Amino acid sequence: MENQEFQLKTGLAEMLKGGVIMDVTDAEQARIAEQSGACAVMALERVPADIRREGGVARMASIRKIREIMRAVTIPVMAKCRIGHFTEARILEALGVDYIDESEVLTPADEAYHVDKHAFKVPFVCGARNLGEALRRIAEGAAMIRTKGEAGTGDVVHAVRHMRAIMAEIRQLSVLPAEELYGHAKQLQAPLPLVQQVARAGKLPVPNFSAGGIATPADAALVMQLGAEAVFVGSGIFKSDDPAARAHAIVRATTHYQNPDVLLECCEDLGEAMRGTEAAALKPEEQLQSRGW
């Protein structure tokens, strides 16, 4: 894990810490995000809330669109490929995006395998619901983990569940005697060396961000308090009344997540948040988080 190329990959994630990565669908939104303090943008064809509503096959965004967004801003630009679609990933790498999100928000291209991310020079971020899933993705070469949450709902409950699960499982590993780690690696379905590394360090070997349903400054501060090192906001910004004001407020709340006085200021004069969908009301087959293995 300690090789130089991997250090460069996680290095960019280190630079994004304490920041907000925002979903954008065109150059205009990308500029608003940058001016509101986003530390990176995710270039998309449709935000998750629209993918959820409109249905159909969700694929890598059009190259023209991603390029337009790359030209519009100076901050890093990420883009999504379908789970297991290593050719989409190669195309995004050739295009020069700064990070690839192998994302459950898009329709999976492979029912068994994720992309071999070690084979790429561009770094990858992947979603996870628990420690085992996070470590499987890291074993495949992911240089950043984010909670899956439940994208496009504006309901933070699953992001909270996933962050709590990951942090609790890490804490649990850190107190186990060495001989019990072998059995736990089997339970986690994760490689033993990674399990031992987490047990020793008390944290993931790559930055651990949060995503999936974050819609308000308070949501962002909540997941930061639970251990997230940065925040992805998808539909929450550009599906709200006043995207620029909300984007700025979420950026500020992510920085000052431990300061209730600043958080109070962040929540004033914000307009309506996205309406959202209660995640508990979704049928199992409507959940995006169960994609990925």
Question: Which residue from 49, 126, 252, 292 is in contact with other proteins, where contact means CB under 8 A?
Answer: 252
Q: Which of 80, 117, 148, 239 is catalytic?
A: 80
Q: Any catalytic annotation for residue 80? A: yes
- Separation CA 202–CA 143 (nearest Å): 17
> Which of 16, 115, 128, 263 forms a contact with other proteins (CB under 8 A)?
16
User: Closer CB to other proteins, residue 11 or residue 183?
Assistant: 11
Q: What is the distance between the alpha carbons of residues 150 and 289, in angstroms, rounded to a whole number?
A: 6
Of 42-50, 73-81, 157-165, 179-187, which segment contacts other proteins by CB under 8 A? 73-81
Among 15, 27, 245, 270, which residue sits at the site for other proteins (rule: CB under 8 A)? 15
d(CA 12, CA 19): 12
Q: Give the 3-state secondary structure of residue 267.
A: helix
Instruction: Write the burial class of residue 98 (CB in 10 Å: 0-12 exposed, 13-18 middle, 19+ buried).
Output: middle
Question: Quick one: 31 exposed, middle or buried, by C-beta within 10 A (0-12, 13-18, 19+)?
Answer: middle
67 binds other proteins (CB under 8 A): no
Task: Pick the piece of the chain touching other proteins (CB under 8 A) from 71-79, 126-134, 170-178, 283-291.
Answer: 71-79
Q: Which residue has the tokens 């072998």?
A: 182
Binding site for other proteins (CB under 8 A): 4, 7-8, 11-12, 14-19, 34-40, 74-76, 93, 96-99, 121-123, 229, 248, 251-252, 255-256, 259
- Residues designated catalytic: 80
